[in-house]
A and B are shown apart, each in its own frame.
Chain A
């Protein structure tokens, strides 16, 4: 059981990811009504509508006046991820995450260390900004039109084309060109949820007194820059770029990391 404990959050995440995908798939092919639609917009039990707030933001950027229904459905999701912490979508829901995680695992097994290209951390925010500008210019939701997340989930849920070329592109890009390239450097949806994550309440807490500087958390973390306080001082991993994947929590042998709820009064914007 000790071994399994080291993967408890990973197993839970895969379960959540798989269940959501299965429910969408079942709604299309088997007529289930628990969760109908896809990751862009969905209906729960035929009544509550939920939408991707970034997709709706792009729609607004095209100049299309969206209806109240979809606006409310996007605000529900926005509120939900503000409560949790934005990028929990990335590590707990997004179908690209298993691909990205697999490549990181493969990189460590094959001991690929060389980065062909190193991208600075601000690139994803520029991609985010660019997607809104291009939505305005071209009159279509710019990221939704080319989103590999969309290609992949529609291939699985609706059989719209084949998903494996998308998986292959991300796989090869991350493996050969930029380490953690897609999820960690380019994806504007991840950037969007990073910004929201700055206001998030569910955060990982570090206790420096228990830390033995074993570095295990750094080895598993997909966004190492967020762990800057580890081994330095106690406190919350405050960066919105943390995906709350909880890999650091489960690999820590010293109980120096755990989930914690942030005191709402202390939220400093973009701290």
Chain B
């Protein structure tokens, strides 16, 4: 950069530094913008044992060895344009769900600990049944069991039959003689394997597996199960929001002092 004969002036240095930063800024903002888009993963189902999404994306080296290890070809490597960070593993439940191998070869093959046995270990015991890949959600209006037609395809197919999906009986209001046998998902037990979605008999599955982040709600600190002692712990773990510095007393006085009721 610059010929030998060039005099080094203060302005010249300033210009060079500015130009350098401009090149970095140009590349950085362009590249950074692409990264924001490329790392969006809103509706993706990860293999069992995957770290929480943000950590998973840091850790996954995109080697595809979990995909090679998957005996059912459930796992696929995301391609550009799939809406999943490219090169990372995921599965599409309606196509091929996770069949929950008890020896989880995908986790075993992962070199980067993006998939780890720790994530399927509960009370010191590792089991694929502890996997939390997603959560099945039922759209009642398109579930024919809710209509009153007998169908328990998802219930029968569920690897945790009677735990993750249970059946609820209710009188059929139309015939008054028969029962509606309705599948209900128990979110504590559901692993998100997606077999229910895969077997659902209607045209577009009425039971679908969504990422837990999207399918679950959160109560927050305002409500408490007073009848459940363990719920107190939940509240304790939530950090209390600091009140603003607003003067509560003056607000209360203002409300109570209508027509000058308070004597000074």
State whether these chains interact. yes
A-side residues, CB < 8 A to B, are: 27-28, 36-38, 40-43, 49, 51-52, 55-56, 59, 62-64, 66-67, 69-70, 73, 120, 123, 126-127, 130, 133-134, 137-142, 144-146, 150-151, 154-155, 157-158, 160-162
With a CB–CB cut-off of 8 A, which chain A residues contact B67? 28, 158
B64 A67 Cβ-Cβ under 8 A: no
Q: Mark B19-47, 1 if CB is under 8 A from A, else 0.
A: 00001100110011011101100000000
B-side residues, CB < 8 A to A, are: 1, 23-24, 27-28, 31-32, 34-36, 38-39, 54-55, 57-59, 61-65, 67-68, 76-82, 85-87, 109, 111-113
Compute how far the CA of A138 lies from the CA of B85 in the bound complex, rounded to whole angstroms: 13
Which of B80, B82, B86, B112 meets A59, CB within 8 Å?
B112
B57 A28 Cβ-Cβ under 8 A: no
**A109: shortest Cβ distance to chain B, in Å?**
31
If over half of A's interface residues share one DSSP class (helix, strand or loop), that class is named, otherwise mixed; here it is helix
Compute how far the CA of A56 lies from the CA of B111 in the bound complex, rounded to whole angstroms: 11
With a CB–CB cut-off of 8 A, which chain B residues contact A162? 79
Which of A41, A144, A157 meets B111, CB within 8 Å?
A41
A126 B39 Cβ-Cβ under 8 A: no
A40, A55, A62, A133: most-surrounded residue (chain B CB, <10 A): A40
**B213: shortest Cβ distance to chain A, in Å?**
16
Contacts A38-B64, A126-B27 known; 10 new A-B pairs at CB < 8 A: A28-B64, A49-B111, A64-B58, A120-B1, A126-B23, A138-B32, A138-B36, A144-B61, A150-B62, A154-B64
Which chain B residue lies CB-closest to A52?
B61
B79 A161 Cβ-Cβ under 8 A: yes
B109 A43 Cβ-Cβ under 8 A: yes
With a CB–CB cut-off of 8 A, which chain B residues contact A158? 64, 67, 76-77
With a CB–CB cut-off of 8 A, which chain A residues contact B111? 37, 41, 43, 49, 51, 69-70, 73
With a CB–CB cut-off of 8 A, which chain B residues contact A51? 61, 63, 111-112
With a CB–CB cut-off of 8 A, which chain B residues contact A28? 64, 67-68
With a CB–CB cut-off of 8 A, which chain B residues contact A64? 55, 58-59
Given A70-B113, A127-B27, A138-B39, decide whether A59 and B32 contact each other with a Cβ distance below 8 A: no
Q: Please name 23 pairs of A and B residues whose Cβ atoms are closer than 8 Å in the assembled complex, sorted by A.
A: A27-B68, A36-B65, A37-B63, A37-B111, A40-B62, A41-B63, A41-B111, A42-B63, A51-B61, A51-B112, A63-B58, A66-B59, A130-B24, A138-B32, A138-B36, A139-B57, A144-B61, A146-B35, A151-B80, A154-B64, A154-B87, A160-B86, A161-B81
**A48: shortest Cβ distance to chain B, in Å?**
11
Which chain B residue lies CB-closest to A137?
B32
B31 A146 Cβ-Cβ under 8 A: yes
Which chain A residue lies CB-closest to B113?
A67
Which of A55, A134, A140 meets B85, CB within 8 Å?
A140
The 7 closest A-B pairs by CB, nearest first: A161-B79, A41-B63, A64-B58, A158-B77, A160-B77, A160-B79, A62-B58
Which of A63, A134, A150, A157 meets B35, CB within 8 Å?
A134
Compute how far the CA of A157 lies from the CA of B32 in the bound complex, rounded to whole angstroms: 28
A38 B28 Cβ-Cβ under 8 A: no
B61 A161 Cβ-Cβ under 8 A: no
